[in-house]
Structure 1
Amino acid sequence: LTSMKAASSDLLASRSASPRDRELVEIIDEDLDRFQSLVTDAVQMLRIDAGDFAVHLERYPLASLVASIMHKFAGRLDGHFVLQRVPDAMTVDADRELLGLALRQLLDNALKYSPATSTIEIEARSNGAVEIAVRNSGSTIPEAEQGRLFERFYRGAQARHIPGTGMGLAIVDQIARAHGGTLSLLSSPELGTTFTLLLPRGKPSS
């Protein structure tokens, strides 16, 4: 991947490329970025699943993290509209890489399980702790399955025809717990499905 990325960057920097060639190389370059992100997330998920990780707290604007995630998902929205309700002034005390991975997993799930062109909401609010909710209007998750969704490798009936490993929500749950927080689920026909990360305020590491 590193060699391919270097080659695509060299081609983009070349002045001899035709407009059509440059357009194709730009597509390849963007796809390489997305693939690299997927590989990085997969490796990180394996480490978390094995318990081989540490939490490095820092305080930063949550909106900046959400913006970077949305940039990475720009080519994957497939007609979905993502409504962001994250105050610019809100900060979070969390490991940036781990929280980024958790939010990418929740957004990826929302895209997979909601109808094309539907709206997905990312909402954050602070009341002592920080709550980050990712909401979609997909099919309701049966109550009998809700209690098992955070188990490793568990996949509900609706998920079995959609590509996935069954590890995503379990990883997000582990990340929440590692921060002293929680991951919760609310699913109903009237409100859709919402996954909420609750993260306590903590003293950032120096």
Structure 2
Amino acid sequence: MSEEFKFWMGMIKKYWYAIILYSLALVGFIVGAIVVLSLYISAPDIAGGGVWTFDDFSLGAALLWIIFLVLWELLLVVLPVAAYLGIVTAIFWYAILSEEDKVAMKEREKREKHPKKTEKGGGAAGFIFFLAFLCVVAIDGNFWVRSGDLSYSYYVYAYLVGVMWTCIVLGVPALIGGLIYLSKKWKQISDAPVTPETPDSNI
């Protein structure tokens, strides 16, 4: 067994009650999320009290349904669990954990810190395309139209139109800026004095 594994196993044996407290938070989070979801689905003023089919949803209704679900989950589940974890962690760190264990954990944390490059370009582009898709549907006047009244090909073409307009609106200025930048660089290279080559002297 590695030294790291032995260290954390020793910490678990020494502070086993902390694992129980954190496990209660996990169980509470799962149970709370399921209960809130069940109550939200059965609410009479949201999606017909759970009796709507997918054809009854419009794009706007689906977005509102998701947004309100996320807000209720945050308010009734995520925030209380986060507050509970914060209190438990503060008590454990400042009142229970010994100084030697604090130092050991900090040293391991420093050793494990490695800068990681995260690629966020793809996610940002997808989000921008999705916003453009919503704008296209809204401009067409179909934002609140039942999805059953529209063909699936409409949504495909609307998304492609959104991608096209996004590329035009963002790509053209980027292309112009890139050309200006390259022209300035080319001018700097052209205006730079050329150093004459000195012939090699043969001795």
Q: TM-score, normalised by structure 1?
A: 0.25
Larger radius of gyration: 2
Q: Which one has more relative contact order, counting CA pairs under 8 Å at least 6 apart?
A: 2
- Structure richer in helix, relative to its length: 2
Q: TM-score, normalised by structure 2?
A: 0.25
- Structure richer in strand, relative to its length: 1
